[in-house]
């Protein structure tokens, strides 16, 4: 479904090393999984690459994805991408330390994280308020998205058109609650509800001109739910596709939730991923084509 960029010109082979392995244990009764990670050795470090080879590897890249793995190398790549004006999406995993993520997040154009990350990073228990704090901390980020499993996702998108300092700020918790009331509980397929762009505040001193969006997840019968391994990666892959094709957030969020939901129906992180021709994705891709045709 997605295109891949070859970094063969920047690859390195280490004699006597070992490849990273992840062992996944799936509990069929509880529909949960446990991952056991064996890290690769030796780790890749910035000195493994010259800046010229890195520049060549990035020259045709329109969007860079990083998750903080091998964080020193990831930061070196991010800095080079930033110099080359390549937008960066950072997958902020809660397992990463502040040292591993702080530099990447400061360069991020887009931030995606799981449900545990916002509170861990900001010490704010409420997700809407934590997202606002994240965008205040990282003013270069255009949006922050948190995935919430069966509860879908939430996005805080910064306005591209500047700010309106004369308007009174609305409490983001109240905005979130009003959006939740707009969600139709009977919808089986993913949908999205959005606020308008407005000045938003939380309990802290900062405010931001942005809008809040809630994307719902597909309602999957228990008999069809096989394995959630890789659902987060599937979601992010769909977001990357949406960004690469200029898909509006109102379409991109339910599209990403749909891709993740489809993946749940097969064992492993890849076997259940849909192709672009999958009829279950048609309405999202058709909405994008229709937008292009009417532009």
Average pLDDT of adjacent 10-residue blocks, the chain of 295 residues: 44 76 83 82 83 89 91 93 97 89 97 96 97 97 98 96 76 98 93 97 89 97 90 97 96 98 92 94 78 57
| Kind plus residue range of the DSSP H or E element containing 91 | strand 88-92
Distance between CA atoms of 240 and 91, rounded to whole angstroms?
A: 11
Contact 145, 153 (CB under 8 A): yes
Q: Is residue 41 part of a domain?
A: no
- pLDDT at residue 3, as a whole number: 39
Can you read off the two tokens belonging to residue 215?
């994307």
Distances (CA, A) of 268 to 93, 150, 226, 247, 271: 20, 18, 9, 27, 6
Domain count of the chain? 1
- pLDDT at residue 291, as a whole number: 60
Q: Is residue 60 part of a domain?
A: yes
- pLDDT at residue 203, as a whole number: 83
- Domain residue limits at 147: 46-294
We report the CATH number of the domain holding residue 63 as: 3.40.1190.20
Can you read off the two tokens belonging to residue 29?
């009764």
Distances (CA, A) of 17 to 13, 20, 44, 86, 160: 9, 10, 11, 32, 46
- pLDDT at residue 95, as a whole number: 84
DSSP code string of 182-230: HS-TT--S--EEEPPSEEEE-SSS-EEEEEEEEEPPP---TTT----TT
Q: Is residue 21 part of a domain?
A: no
- pLDDT at residue 289, as a whole number: 60
Q: Is residue 13 part of a domain?
A: no
Helix (H, G, I), strand (E, B) or coil at 14: coil
> Can you give the pTM of this predicted structure?
0.89
Q: Is residue 191 part of a domain?
A: yes
Q: Is residue 143 part of a domain?
A: yes
- pLDDT at residue 181, as a whole number: 97
Distance between CA atoms of 200 and 193, rounded to whole angstroms?
A: 17
Q: Is residue 15 part of a domain?
A: no
- pLDDT at residue 293, as a whole number: 57
Distance between CA atoms of 63 and 282, rounded to whole angstroms?
A: 24
């Amino acid at each position: 479904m997605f295109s891949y960029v070859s970094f063969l010109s920047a690859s390195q082979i280490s004699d006597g090393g070992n490849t990273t392995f992840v062992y996944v244990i799936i509990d069929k009764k509880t529909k949960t999984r446990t991952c056991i990670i064996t890290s690769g050795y030796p780790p890749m470090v910035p000195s493994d690459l010259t800046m010229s080879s890195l520049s060549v590897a990035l020259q045709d890249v329109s969007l860079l994805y990083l998750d903080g793995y091998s964080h020193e190398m990831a930061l070196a790549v991010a800095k080079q991408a930033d110099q080359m004006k390549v937008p960066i999406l950072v997958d902020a995993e809660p397992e990463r330390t502040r040292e591993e993520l702080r530099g990447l997040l400061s360069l991020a154009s887009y931030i995606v994280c799981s449900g545990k990350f916002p509170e861990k990073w900001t010490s704010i228990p409420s997700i809407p308020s934590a997202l606002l704090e994240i965008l205040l901390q990282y003013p270069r980020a255009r949006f922050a998205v948190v995935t919430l499993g069966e509860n879908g996702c939430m996005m805080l998108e910064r306005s591209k058109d500047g700010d309106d300092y004369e308007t009174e700020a609305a409490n983001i918790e109240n905005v979130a609650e009003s959006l939740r009331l707009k969600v139709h509980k009977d919808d089986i397929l993913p949908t999205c509800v959005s606020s308008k762009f407005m000045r938003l505040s939380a309990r802290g001193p900062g405010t931001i001109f942005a809008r809040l969006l809630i994307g719902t997840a597909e309602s999957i019968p228990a008999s069809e739910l096989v394995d959630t391994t890789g659902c987060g990666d599937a979601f992010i892959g769909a977001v990357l596709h949406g960004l690469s094709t200029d898909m509006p957030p109102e379409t991109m969020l339910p599209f990403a939730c749909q891709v993740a939901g489809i993946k749940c129906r097969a064992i492993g992180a890849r076997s259940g991923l849909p192709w672009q021709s999958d009829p279950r994705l048609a309405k999202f891709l058709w909405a994008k084509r229709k937008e292009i045709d009417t532009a």
